[in-house]
A = this chain, B = another copy of it.
């Protein structure tokens, strides 16, 4: 953290908002009114408006010791955008609330906001409003993402049908192993601050943890392939937990094949270093923000060779339960041991 040379208290709340928001531009025709009034106005015409909100709390969702502030701002946007993507909708606008101590430097909050604005640029979002307040106890970021889609295109968690294929984007477990690396190096550093943290060779999984991406590209790809998933959810709490959610809301069961679960080599290697089963990482490690969805069998040919997508199982009737078929060929019930921060 920078020294508190330029405390927020010297410019006041309105000064701070002005400073943070002066270079925000409006890109979407549907944004009738952005920052600067009591509320934001969006006009979606015939489109549906999709909204999602998430709160990130210091000490729960991130550790200030190893979280670059700009990445934190970026991630706060990405996790919300991921929820909009999981509806098969296009993210369009953001509302951003930040609570942070007046002891923070102005540079610190600007860095967070820079990350937010960078993400808004990458994901083509309008920041249309928000709130900034002091939070003596630490940093809290609450973001509401808004998106749009035609009614016929929106995909819910509840639409999976028997025999549908279960598909996941990207690879799983990386964000969790990135977190483990960061925690290990923090402990080393705490016990001996003269030792430089050893983060070498782990760029991929560190980025998965610190600066995850929402899979807008997958939504576009599905659209190009003319595939409408029958159900979809984003993976924030781990594959097992999300697949159970999806089956529960669709009133179906499933078979998930262990050997089909996509795991990056870095994740695999690091998991073994930490004496963790790589499959356990993929099933229960959270924060991958990949998309988990189901498609009709007829769409199999369109996706089978796509490097971004893996078919990992299929939907059964509810009575058969939600099961993992292990590498050894055994069937075992899936259990959600996802990241539940109240436990």
Count of interface residues, chain A, beta-carbon cutoff 8 Å: 73
Rounded to whole angstroms, the CA-CA distance of A337 and B61 in the bound complex is 36
Q: Does A52 contact B (CB under 8 A)?
A: yes
Q: Are A53 and B151 in contact (CB under 8 A)?
A: no
Q: Are B97 and A13 in contact (CB under 8 A)?
A: no
List the B residue with the shortest CB-CB distance to A55. B97
Q: Determine the chain B residues whose CB is within 8 A of the CB of A147 once the complex forms.
A: 39
Q: Does A89 contact B (CB under 8 A)?
A: yes
Q: Determine the chain B residues whose CB is within 8 A of the CB of A180 once the complex forms.
A: none
Q: Determine the chain B residues whose CB is within 8 A of the CB of A146 once the complex forms.
A: 51
Instruction: Indicate whether A55 sits within 8 Å of B151 (C-beta atoms), given known contacts A39-B89, A340-B12.
Output: no
Q: Which of A137-145, A262-270, A310-318 contacts B (4 or more CB under 8 A)?
A: A137-145
Q: Determine the chain B residues whose CB is within 8 A of the CB of A55 once the complex forms.
A: 97-99, 131, 133, 140, 142
Q: Give A5 Cβ to nearest chain B Cβ, in Å.
A: 16
Rounded to whole angstroms, the CA-CA distance of A204 and B318 in the bound complex is 57
Q: Are A49 and B54 in contact (CB under 8 A)?
A: no
Q: Does A128 contact B (CB under 8 A)?
A: yes
Rounded to whole angstroms, the CA-CA distance of A157 and B84 in the bound complex is 31
Partner of A137, one of B16, B37, B59: B59
Rounded to whole angstroms, the CA-CA distance of A39 and B33 in the bound complex is 22
Q: Are A144 and B51 in contact (CB under 8 A)?
A: yes
Q: Are A142 and B40 in contact (CB under 8 A)?
A: no
Q: Does A295 contact B (CB under 8 A)?
A: no
Q: Are A39 and B44 in contact (CB under 8 A)?
A: no
Rounded to whole angstroms, the CA-CA distance of A8 and B343 in the bound complex is 8
Q: Does A32 contact B (CB under 8 A)?
A: yes
Question: For window 87-135 of chain A, which residues contact chain B by CB distance below 8 Å?
Answer: 87, 89, 95, 97-99, 102, 128-131, 133-135
A residues apposed to B, CB below 8 Å? 8-9, 11-14, 16, 32-33, 36-46, 48-61, 83-84, 86-87, 89, 95, 97-99, 102, 128-131, 133-138, 140, 142, 144-147, 151, 154, 156-158, 232-234, 249, 340-343
